[in-house]
Amino acid sequence: MKGFLFDLDGVIVDTAKYHYIAWKRVGQQLGFELTHEHNEQLKGVSRVDSLERIIAWAGADCNAEEKQRLLVEKNEDYLRQIENMDTDEILEGVEEVLLYANKNNISVALGSASKNGTRILEKLGLTHYFQAIIDGNHVTRSKPDPEVFLKGAAALGLDPKDCIVFEDAAAGIEAAQKAGMKTIGMGGSPELAAADYCFDSMKKISPAFIETL
């Protein structure tokens, strides 16, 4: 394997808990109580598509202007919450895998739906491990479309078949497979059964395993 492509939320850091609080407040404005189960369905889904789903669940009727206002408010709320995020929030084992890749000539890229990807990597002090960052600002089509990972491989100058994707969402595994890449499902959700390999934590990914890829 010559390239590692990392999803962000659920793989490097658990930002889902902050998205949840912010979307819950949006739901309340629409008279709808967003639950943890709803939030699970928003993992890996872009900001715009997440709002569309919440509006549908709420059975609400919003015009384009209202949607825009809710999107801005949601992101401001989310950004306030992650303001004090630091290295303590990096998920266990992530830095070890990044370090191993950097030391062993494996290129590293981010492949995230989040438009806040660059800011979050900076807050976590992880930016220097990445040779390319492809996030929601660089793509026009959401996962399960393979665009984000194909752009990641291209930015690293690699053939997709030489890349492996670390993902926590079923749509992300599908996107990687459509891109012709190997996949590692992270987090232990049964929805990730289609992945080539599954781990509940990055700390279980040993150098010996990486060498078998």
Q: Using CB under 6 A as the criterion, which residues of the chain lie in contact with ligand B16 when the complex forms?
A: 7-10, 16, 19, 42-47, 50, 75, 112-116, 136, 169
Whether residue 168 lies in the annotated active site: no
Contact partner at residue 2 from Mg ion, ligand B16, none, CB < 5 to 8 Å by partner kind: none
Whether 169 contacts 44, CB under 8 Å: yes
Residue nearer to Mg ion on the CB measure, 129 or 168: 168
What is the rounded distance in angstroms from the CA atom of residue 207 to the CA atom of residue 7? 20
Binding residues for Mg ion, rule: CB under 5 A, are: 7, 9-10, 44, 168-169
| Cβ at position 212, least distance to ligand B16 in Å | 26
In angstroms, give the least distance from the CB of 88 to Mg ion.
20
Complex with ligand B16: residue 74 or 156, whichever CB lies closer? 74
Q: What is the DSSP string of 132-178?
A: EEE-TTS-SS-TTSTHHHHHHHHHHT--GGGEEEEESSHHHHHHHHH
Q: Please, what is the minimum distance in Å from the beta carbon of residue 209 to ligand B16?
A: 23
- Closest CB 105 distance from ligand B16, rounded Å: 25
Find which of ligand B16, Mg ion, none residue 91 binds, CB within 5 to 8 Å per kind. none
Query: CB-wise, 138 or 159, nearer to ligand B16?
Result: 138
C-beta of 62 vs 171, nearer to ligand B16: 171
Q: Which of 9, 162, 196, 200 is catalytic?
A: 9
Helices (H), the chain: 16-29, 36-41, 47-58, 64-82, 94-103, 117-123, 147-156, 170-178, 207-212
Instruction: Determine contact, residues 35/140, Cβ cutoff 8 Å.
Output: no
- The whole-angstrom separation of Cα 151 and Cα 190 is 28
| Tokens of residue 169, six digits | 């969402």
Residue 115: CB minimum distance to ligand B16, A: 4
Active site residue 7: yes
Nearer Cβ to Mg ion (58/114): 114
Q: At what angle do helices 64-82 and 16-29 cross, to 10 degrees?
A: 140
In the DSSP assignment, the letter for residue 21 is H
Partner that binds at residue 136, options Mg ion, ligand B16, none, CB closer than 5 to 8 Å by kind: ligand B16
Residues marked active site are found at: 7, 9
